[in-house]
């Protein structure tokens, strides 16, 4: 069965897009047919896989607003098993444009139905907000990964996100699960990183992935080259950690 997984956190700078791009690439390296859907108006997942904004004439916007078939939006990447549906600047106004639409919360879910069976995993990179785009992402998904930076401020918004997920489950998608909380930007030299990790694991237990994403220079460099870390520096700690995350998720999928 195909799995649709949203990467969501209303706080920016927590490693959301980094996770979307590199988890997708790691699943593709495992020869899982993977689709990355960039539904963030910033389009960083799109450029992170080497697709420039100038190349994108049609994006996920056209599916949400004009009903363009998503199969017409698929683009190849450097990895054989990885495709992307790109984003572009048109998405900035989409939340207002969607307001008068009937079933506006399920536009993405409905659009993806025609191609879901062609993939093993569909990964959605959501914007850093809890607006209508993120609601569409969560409504279309089987589960959600919550990246959480190993600092105190990102923890403050976690309860708000969890409340939103519960509202989505109650009103729009009763089958939505939390795939896991992913600790990101872990710095082993920093006491706060260790304290936050301990606190999150103590409070959320099995909801937290075993894999922790470290602060890694190579991981922060690869977006500027339009490559996932597995193609930029496969021997880096960043690449190893996302391969481990992919293994964990594959394990969830088999259990």
Give the CATH number, domain containing residue 98.
3.40.50.300
**For every one of its 255 residues, what pLDDT tens digit does the chain have, with 9 covering 90 and above?**
899 999 999 888 889 999 999 999 999 999 999 999 999 999 999 999 999 878 888 999 999 999 999 999 999 999 999 999 999 888 999 999 999 998 999 999 999 999 999 999 999 999 998 899 999 999 999 999 999 988 876 677 788 889 999 999 999 999 999 999 999 999 888 888 999 899 899 989 999 999 999 998 999 999 999 999 999 999 999 999 999 999 999 998 665
From residue 57, give the alpha-carbon distance in Å to each of 37, 81, 87, 122: 16, 23, 10, 22
Concatenate the DSSP letters of all residues of the chain into one string: --EEEEE--SSSSSSHHHHHHHHHHHHHHTT--EEEEE--TT-HHHHHTT--GGG-SS-HHHHHHH---GGGT-EE-SSTTEEEE---GGGGGHHHHHTTSTTGGGHHHHHHTTTGGG-SEEEEE--SSSSHHHHHHHHH-SEEEEEEESSHHHHHTHHHHHHHHHHHHHHT-TT-EEEEEEEEEE-TT-HHHHHHHHHHHHHHGGGEEEEEEEP-HHHHHGGGGT--HHHH-TTSHHHHHHHHHHHHHHHHHH-
pLDDT at 11: 85
pLDDT at 57: 87
Structure tokens at 71: 């199969």
**Cross-strand pairs, 37:** 85, 124
pLDDT at 219: 92
pLDDT at 151: 81
pTM: 0.95
The count of domains in the chain is: 1
Per the structure, the complete domain to which residue 171 belongs is given by 3-254
pLDDT at 158: 85
Contact 208, 181 (CB under 8 A): yes
């Amino acid at each position: 069965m195909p799995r649709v997984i949203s990467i969501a956190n209303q706080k920016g700078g927590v490693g959301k897009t980094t996770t979307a791009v590199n988890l997708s690439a790691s699943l593709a390296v495992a020869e899982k047919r993977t689709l990355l859907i960039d539904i963030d108006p910033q389009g960083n997942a799109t450029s992170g896989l080497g697709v420039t904004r100038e190349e994108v004439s049609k994006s996920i916007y056209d599916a949400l607003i004009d009903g363009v078939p998503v199969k017409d939006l698929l683009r190849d990447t450097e990895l054989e098993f990885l495709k992307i549906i790109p984003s572009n600047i048109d998405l900035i106004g989409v939340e207002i444009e969607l307001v008068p639409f009937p079933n506006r919360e399920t536009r993405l879910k409905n659009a993806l139905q025609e191609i879901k069976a062609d993939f093993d995993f569909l990964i959605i990179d959501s914007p850093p907000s809890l607006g209508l785009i993120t609601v569409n992402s969560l409504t279309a998904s089987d589960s959600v990964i919550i990246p959480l930076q190993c600092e105190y401020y990102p923890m403050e918004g976690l309860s708000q996100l969890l409340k939103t997920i519960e509202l989505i489950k109650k009103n729009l998608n009763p089958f939505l699960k939390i795939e896991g909380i992913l600790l990101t930007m872990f710095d082993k030299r920093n006491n706060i990183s260790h304290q936050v990790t301990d606190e999150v694991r103590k409070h959320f237990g099995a909801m937290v992935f075993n894999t922790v994403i470290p602060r890694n220079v190579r991981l922060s460099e690869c977006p500027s080259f339009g490559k996932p870390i597995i193609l930029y520096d496969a021997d880096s700690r960043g690449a190893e950690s996302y391969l481990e995350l992919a293994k964990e998720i594959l394990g969830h999928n088999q259990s």
